[in-house]
Each structure stands twice: as structure tokens, then as C-alpha cells.
Chains A and B, each alone.
Chain A
Amino acid sequence: MSWTRKILRVNLTEGTCTPEPLNMEWAKQYLGQRGLATKYLVEETDPNVDALSPENLFIMATGPLTGTMASTGGRYSVITKSPLTGAIACSNSGGFIGNEFKNAGLDMIIFEGKSPSPVYLYIENDKAELKPADDLWGKSAWEADEMIHAKHQDPNIKIAVVGRPAEEGCLYSAVINDLHRAAGRSGVGTVMASKNLKAVAVRGTLGVGGVDQPQEFFEAVNAGKKVLADNAVTGEGLPAYGTQVLMNVINGVGGLPARNMRDVGFEGAENISAEAMNEPRASDGKPNLTTNGACFGCTIACGRISTVDKTHFSVKDKPQYHGASGGLEYEAAWSLGADTGVDDLDALTYVNFICNEDGLDPISFGCTVAAAMELYEEGQISNDETGGIDLRFGSAEALVACVEAVVSGTDFGKTLGMGSKLLCEKYGKPELSMTVKGQEFPAYDPRGIQGIGLAYATSNRGACHLRGYTIASEILGIPVKTEQADSDGKPELVKAFQDATAVVDSAGLCVFTTFAWGMEDIAPQIDAACEGDWSIDKCLEAGERIWNMERQYNNAAGFTADDDTLPKRLLKEAIKSGPTEGQVSKLGEMLPVYYEVRGWTPQGVPTAETLSRLGLS
């Protein structure tokens, strides 16, 4: 099995914690984590519910391989309706807490209702209770983490927690776990705080067993680990350079957006790259990068642990930030850096620390600052409104001031907490919001790289690279190289990536394994661990089922084909210079084909035949 077959249902309104059996019929259709928790959400809530109301569910879910010996098998996800987008939200995180949930005997925790006062959930194996969190409310994620560890006098407790912006309603608040890992996207932390749930602390020592075919699982897992170790990307590139190695690559191929996606190509890219993170700095001879790090069970270890130059303006009077902490990943470095025009590596690292400390999605935060910078330079936002911040593109001081404004809850910080879409609407310039379905873009320009534009437009959680990472094929040549400027074949490519990713996200594995693993490596691990037929075809069918279920949820929530689009800037304003000069997104050519490939109507609705084939209704 590998599922523990047990859910904890927490009614925050009533203050009760009740175990219940996992619905195994659903598990055999939706696997776990992303797919299975979404099934519960779909079955138990109205898609039109206000995301921040007690009627919304907030689910923390593991996959069947979470906590097993499978490489990267430590993932968990948060599934809920997003307050940022109004669409389905599923944010995936690594670290160690997913494994701890599993060791406490839980596949999933479903939170209902809203507590009358701040609480945190404490789980110790079979014991689960809600505890008062009045003293934790108003504290940063890091402070609350430390306080909970101190209360229980147990350093092995794993904690997922929200920071102060979530309490204040910042729409892109993350759930931070293990200090430096985050269920970051779509404002899932905002939902958690709206329920007066400050943290979830868990200690599990029950072990993870129940693997369906132990010998086969052992062999499949070991074979998978060998593939990861032997692969140049997962065995060498990612541990040494992390995801940040992409900064120069994407800039080099004409795919790096800059300054609120007004430009493509950033002159300061190499100053904020992985290579720059490895260089000794003048003040102390040490590089930004201290070491790499791994999440539970991971044999890749792409994580970055960094320091900020102690003499840098952002931290020179703040010794609490002089130690090593979670460093820049590519998406954060892009949004905080290229998209704001800032090429100060220390400033970006400090702002990234603050995003971890207080639970912000750095992608959405950086992109919102970028939109605010454009509004400021156009004269829409005044100096008075910013509280004196000279909010120009390229200003590291402004970027630092903005993150401090958001976490300390100033008036302008709260304005930034609205996210790019509402911010631009507030100032009468909705066209300056670089979002899809209200969620800010990651670090690849849809004009310069065609497939990723279609993936963004059709992503079920709004603009997102991780729902269908066609960059692997279009730029990196994994598994095969496709031409980045071509739109032909991209609908099929996007669908293939979307369905396969849904499987990985539902299994308890990290999507980065797919730089080396194909479904022929993944399916045998799932099949050996779980009862039932998890052949490659069945896995991919489950992935397609999950994708269509998410689509149906969004359609029922009021989304239509009109929402499968990109900002006008990316459809109409051609790239001004560089290797992709003259290009715009060819979304209009790709989208109808994508609908057809998906088995959807021209209006983007799954046909009865498609639903029937996938066992959906």
C-alpha cells in the first residue's frame, strides 16, 4: 500500500481532531497528495466558496512515496482554493515535514471551519490536539517555529507555519516548513491564517511501512537512484549550481524577462547567477553560497544555503541575518532581481531570507514590486503613497524597503500585499499586471519560448512553470530538444508535461527527478509501493484525470476559456532586441489545438467522452 490509510480531520470551529479512514477507492484513482487531496476538496466544497471563508477547506497531504526510501520522497502539498486566483491551489514543498506526517501515521490532514482564536495543531503519532497560539500570533514564521520547539522541548518536531503577512491578509503568503522550505504559491498561507491556524507541529516515530511489494520496491528505488546519480544534471549540475544556473542560460537564449516583463534580456543577469554565488566577495573572501542542501530522502541536493555580506547595507546593522540561511533559487532570483531590474546579489539574498522568515512567495512578491515600480515610473503611484520609497527599477534599496514594508504591515506594505493584479487594477492600469488568472509569472518569457506560454495560460493554478515545465525540452533538451520559437507540437508537449507532472506531484516525489527520470523510472516505484495497477499507462491516465478534475473545479468556479490567456504585453508587444527580437507569443495558434488534444470543446470544457474515458462526471 504505502498509504497509511488514515486521515486526520480537524474541525477548527469545534476544536476537534478526528481520525478517519482514507477513501481507498479514490486513492486508486487519484494516487495521493495533489490528486487525492483535490478529490476531497472537489467532493466536500462548493467551488464558488470565498477562499478566505470558514467554508473553504485547507488540506495538507502526502503522497504514497512520501517517507519511503524513494529518492526525493519527502514531499507534501497544501491544497485549497486560492485567495489570489480564485482557482484551485496546490503548493508543493520539500524539507522534512512530509516525512514526519507519514511517520505519525497520516496520509492527509483536512482542516475545516475557523477557530475562534489563534491555535496550532500539535501531533505526536496518534495524539493530535489544538493548542492556543495567542502568543504565536503576530510573530514571524521563524520566531513561531522557535517558540513551538521551546514549548515542547523537542528539537525533532517538524513545523509548518505562517508569518505575519498571512495574518494581515497578504494574498501571496506561503506556508513555511523547516525554516527554509515553502508551500509557496497561490496564497495558501493566507488561507491557513484566515482559519486562525498559525502552525502545524508534528512528531512521528511510527515508521513508514506497508509497501506492497518490498523486494520490487527496493530494486526499483535503487535503480532510480542510480539513474539520478549517473545523470549529469541531477548528479552534478543541480548539486553544484542549483536551479540558479539557469539565470545565464535563459538570458542567453533570449528568454529572460526583465523590469515587469517590459524587456527581455537583463544586463545584470550574470551578477545574480549561480556562478556569481560561487565567487569570493571582497569583504571577507567568502562566497555567497555556503553549501548545498537536500530535503528528506533526496539524492540530488539542489538546495542553496547562503550568507549575505555582513557589510551590505541590508544587514550591516542586523546581526541576526549574518548567519547562513536558505539562499536564492532561480525563480526567486529572477523575480526579486531581473524583474525589478536589481542586480545586487546580497540584496536579493537578504530579501529571500525575509520571504522565508515571514512566509512570502518570492515570485509573487518580486513581480508585484516590479509592477509597482512600473506604476511608480509612470506616475501612477506617488512618493507619498510609497512612504518615501523611491520605487525605481534597479533600486536595491527600494526592493529591501518594500519587503520590510510588507512584513511590518505598513500602509504601502498592505498595498503590495494585494498582489500584482489588484494593485494594477487599483491604479487603473490592469494591463501592467503580468499575471494569468491573477497569479504572477515565473522566470521564462512566453514571447521568447512558445510552449511555456501555453503552459502558463492553461495552468490550473494561474501562471506557473511547475505545472508543465516545457523549458526542459525547449531549452535544456530534456528528454528531447524542441525549437523554442516553434508553436507546432507545443500543445502536445504541454499536455504531456502537465499529465506527467500531476503524477509526480501526487506520488510524493520531487519534479526535479524528471530531469533524469522518465515515467519508465517512476511508474515501477509507484507500482511496487502501492496496491493496484500503476503501470506507465495507468499512471499517465491518473495524471490526465487529475488535470481534468482541476479544470472542472475551475470551470465550476467561474473560469472560462477567456481566462486561458496572457497579458496583452506578451501577445502584442514584440521583443525589442536580442536573439528573440521581434517575437510575440503565438498563444492564439496553440490554444485551440491544445483544447483538441485535451479532448475539450472549443470553449475549453472537457467533453462528455473525455470525462467518461477518465472516470469523471
Chain B
Amino acid sequence: MKMHLELYASLMHLLPPGTSRHKREIKVAEGTSVQDIIDEYNIPLEMAHIVLVNGKFVCEDRTQHILEEQDVLSIWPPVAGG
């Protein structure tokens, strides 16, 4: 199935080649979890700090959050501002 992966700030270099600044359409198998994507794209665990699926925080166990068709997974390292 197709979904979208968005990486920001110091994680951007881990995106596969593409034209969009942050977003890539990727193909994944049914049953893929958030943690599977984090592993596949070599995102260090401590750097996957803000993790959203369709703009909602993934607060539960990331291995248990199964992605669906057209989901948008967005990941940031630890950041802050104000």
C-alpha cells in the first residue's frame, strides 16, 4: 500500500531522493508499524521524538501502531522554540 513519510530538521537527509522538501510517497506492506518505518529509514530511536500519524501524536507503543493506506507519518528530532 502507499503512504507518505515526512522527515524534518536534522532527519531530512534520511529521506530517499525526491523533489519535495520533506515528503515522500513510499510503498509499504500491509501490517507495517510506525516502528518498522523508523527502523527501515535508520532513524535513531532517540531522534524520533515527535511522531505524528495524520497530525496526531503516536503516544502508544510504536510497534503496535499499524499504518494504513494514505497515512502520513511525520517525524521530528527533539526540538523546541518559542
Which residues on A are within 8 Å of B, measured CB to CB?
A: 231-233, 236-238, 240-246, 248-249, 252-254, 270, 274-276, 279, 329-331, 465-466, 469, 471-472, 475-478, 481, 483-484, 511-512, 515, 578-580
Contacts and interface: CB of A to CB of B under 8 A. Distances in A.
Contacts of A279: 21
Contacts of B80: 233, 237-238, 243, 245-246, 472, 476, 478, 512, 515
A240 B10 CA distance: 9
Given A242-B81, A245-B79, A472-B82, 5 more contacts: A245-B8, A248-B8, A472-B80, A477-B49, A481-B59
Given A253-B52, A476-B50, A481-B57, A232 B22 contact: no
Nearest to A245: B79
Contacts of B22: 248, 270, 275
Q: Most chain-B CB neighbours within 10 Å: which of A241, A279, A578, A580?
A: A241
Nearest to A442: B82
Given A249-B50, A270-B22, A477-B50, A275 B82 contact: no
Size bracket of the B interface: 20 to 34
Q: Most chain-B CB neighbours within 10 Å: which of A275, A484, A511?
A: A275
Given A270-B21, A275-B9, A276-B21, A252 B59 contact: no
Contacts of B55: 252-254, 578-580
Contacts of A241: 9-10, 79
Given A248-B22, A476-B50, A477-B50, A243 B9 contact: no
Contact of B21 (A275, A466, A481): A275
7 contacts: A236-B77, A245-B8, A246-B81, A248-B76, A252-B74, A275-B21, A469-B82
A329 to B, nearest CB: 8
B70 interface: no
Is chain A's binding surface mostly helix, strand, loop or mixed? helix
Contacts of A465: 82
B63 interface: no
Contacts of B49: 232, 477
B79 A476 contact: yes
Interface of B: 6, 8-10, 12, 21-22, 46-47, 49-50, 52, 54-57, 59, 74, 76-82
A580 B77 CA distance: 22
B79 A249 contact: yes
B63 to A, nearest CB: 19
Contact of A511 (B12, B76, B82): B82
A249 B76 contact: yes
A245 B81 contact: yes
Contact of B79 (A246, A331, A578): A246
Interchain residue pairs A-B with the least CB separation, the first 7: A579-B55, A243-B81, A246-B81, A232-B78, A237-B79, A515-B80, A245-B79
Contacts of B56: 579
Given A270-B22, A481-B57, A578-B55, A237 B78 contact: yes
Given A243-B82, A481-B57, A237 B77 contact: yes
Nearest to B55: A579
A244 B52 contact: no
Contacts of A240: 9-10
A233 B22 CA distance: 20
Contact of B9 (A231, A245, A475, A481): A245
Contacts of B57: 253, 481, 483-484
A368 to B, nearest CB: 21
Nearest to B72: A252
Given A253-B55, A579-B55, A330 B21 contact: no
A252 B79 contact: no
Nearest to B22: A270
Contacts of B77: 232, 236-237
A270 B78 CA distance: 18
Contacts of B82: 243, 246, 330-331, 465-466, 469, 471-472, 511-512
B78 A249 contact: no
A330 B79 CA distance: 12
A480 to B, nearest CB: 11
A483 B52 CA distance: 13
Contacts of B46: 232
